Amino acid sequence: MIAPTVGKTLLISTVIFFSVFLALILFSPSFPFSQSPLNPPPPERADIWSLRRLFEWRPCEWWLQRRPAPLPVKNNGYIRVDCYGGLNQMRRDFCDGVGIARLLNATLVLPKFEVAAYWNESSGFEDVFDVDYFIEKMNGFVQVVKELPAELASKEPFKVDCSKRKGLFDYVETVLPSLLEHRYISITPAMSQRRDRYPLYAKAALCQACYSALRLTATLEKKGSDLLEAIPKPFLSLHLRFEPDMVAYSQCEYSFLSANSTQAIDSARGERKPWTGEQARLWRARGKCPLTPNETAIILQSLSIPTNTNIYLAAGDGLMELEGLTSVYANVFTKSTLLSGTDFENMHGNSKAALDYYVSVNSDSYVATYFGNMDKMVAAMRAFKGLYRTLFLSRRAFAVLTNQGLNGNLLMEALWKVHRDDFVMGVGSALPDCFCEFKL
């Protein structure tokens, strides 16, 4: 009777042993099937900047490597460009104005910066940019003067409406007659220019102005250099746009914001009401809604950008919900934390924007959550300098993927694929006609 009992006991012990052993294997974190198929382990990925690009944007040879076409002996008059909005919008308009002046064979007068409505202050072109350097670098491309001839100096320019002028024939047929009649006119270039219709000599003047001739004043350059020096290296410059006026303008609604943020947005809305229901979903799916700091942090993590990365925050005043970023990326620096209090408080809004531009152009990498004038200018200037660690985060991809119900590691993987393809193909860098695509 003893032998059968011992055998039965051994069999039971063996079954229990193998059951425990199998359970330990199956539920071990290293076992490939231990994770739920709905929540796979995060894949090992290199950071986005280590990928090999297939295309780059470089300055076109016809601009950089050819002598400009000779200027005509006689010009048709004088043009002043009136610029409105933020610094980079004014910079864009002024560059377009340089091209128009050359197109119409006009002498360029230093531009007028209309900043009072935007910054509630008074600062001009000469407060931001080195005037003498600009005139020197534009020699041969277009005539530039600091002062008008005596017969025109006391007159206000004749204002010409250019809101619908977009191409060569528009300006020649409708603006040139006013220039010839009045000899001194002011223009604000149309928002959407057809530069592809300009002759090369006019485009070359525009390109030279925007990327070679506009240098900050010595004072601002020194301040920008000091700010750049103060940022721990290497660093990423992040242009984050989640201010009350930006959210109000977007007509997007966010249900999870703090009471203070919601109140600030409501105060900025005015008559511009947010979309609701299906319209709100479609609007967001088109990429029209600004990324929150928290959403930005999620995308940065999906790109395998380490959480100990030094980040310079290129942003205006009133940024909301910043803890959504800083709770993940703690090494965040701003102008106000790096500059002395007095230095910062006495600066014009244009000067502050110029410092953000300067630091972003010279950063180790640049990431933008928006697609505005600063982002386009910074991306182009970085390409001009051969700096290609530049990326625009996709608001549309984030909206579409989260609307599909993706979250966690599945969302991270999908975001990685979208931005990987954009970076490799050189997509997303909005460059004007001064640049040509170069296959690597």
Q: What is the pLDDT of residues 60-84, one digit of tens each?
A: 988 888 788 899 988 999 999 999 8
Give 311: exposed, middle or buried? Use CB within 10 Å, 0-12, 13-18, 19+: buried
B/e letters for 53-67, b = 16+ CB within 10 Å, e = fewer, are eeebbbbbeebeeee
To the nearest 10 degrees (0 to 180), the angle between helices 373-384 and 87-103 is 70
The per-residue pLDDT for 23 is 41
All residues at 6 or more sequence positions from 150 whose CB lies less than 8 Å from its CB, including other chains: none
Q: Which two tokens stand for residue 123?
A: 């600062």
CB atoms within 10 A of CB 121: 13
When the candidates are 3.40.50.2300, 3.40.50.11340, 3.30.1490.120, 1.10.8.50, the CATH number that belongs to 74-215 is 3.40.50.11340
Question: Tens of pLDDT along 368-420?
Answer: 999 888 999 999 999 999 999 999 999 999 999 999 999 999 999 999 999 99
> What DSSP string describes 56-85?
EEEE-HHHHSSPPPPPPSS---EEEEEEES
Higher per-residue confidence, 287 vs 192: 287
Question: Tens of pLDDT along 20-71?
Answer: 444 433 333 333 322 333 334 455 678 899 999 999 999 998 888 878 889 9
Helix (H, G, I), strand (E, B) or coil at 126: helix
Separation between Cα atoms, residue 231 and residue 229, nearest integer Å = 6
CA-wise closest residue to 93 among 24, 163, 25: 163
The per-residue pLDDT for 116 is 57
Give 273: exposed, middle or buried? Use CB within 10 Å, 0-12, 13-18, 19+: exposed
The mean pLDDT value of the chain amounts to 86
CB atoms within 10 A of CB 440: 8
Separation between Cα atoms, residue 170 and residue 199, nearest integer Å = 14
Residue 333 has pLDDT above 80, yes or no: yes
Question: Tens of pLDDT along 170-185?
Answer: 888 889 999 999 999 9
175 within 8 A of 105, measured Cβ to Cβ: no
312 within 8 A of 357, measured Cβ to Cβ: no
Separation between Cα atoms, residue 2 and residue 234, nearest integer Å = 76
Separation between Cα atoms, residue 91 and residue 354, nearest integer Å = 11
165 within 8 A of 103, measured Cβ to Cβ: no
Residue 323 has pLDDT above 70, yes or no: yes
> Is there a shared CATH topology between the 74-215 domain and the 219-242+290-439 domain?
yes
User: For 188, left (φ over 0), alpha (ψ -120 to 50), or beta?
Assistant: beta
β-sheet bridge partners, residue 19: none
Region 304-322 average pLDDT: 94
Region 251-277 average pLDDT: 93
| Domain definitions of the chain by residue range | 74-215, 219-242+290-439
Helix (H, G, I), strand (E, B) or coil at 330: coil
- The percentage of the chain sitting over the pLDDT mark of 90, rounded to a whole number, equals 66
The per-residue pLDDT for 7 is 47
Q: How many H-runs (helices) and E-runs (strands) does the chain carry?
A: 22, 12
**Half-sphere exposure (CA, 13 Å, Cβ side) for 406?**
16
All residues at 6 or more sequence positions from 302 whose CB lies less than 8 Å from its CB, including other chains: 411, 412, 413, 415, 416, 419
Domain 219-242+290-439 listed as CATH 3.40.50.11350: yes
Strands 184-187 and 390-392: unpaired
Confidence of residue 165 (pLDDT cuts 50, 70, 90): low
The per-residue pLDDT for 38 is 36
Higher per-residue confidence, 280 vs 5: 280
Q: Residue 282 belongs to what H/E stretch?
A: helix 277-285
Radius of gyration, alpha carbons of the chain: 28
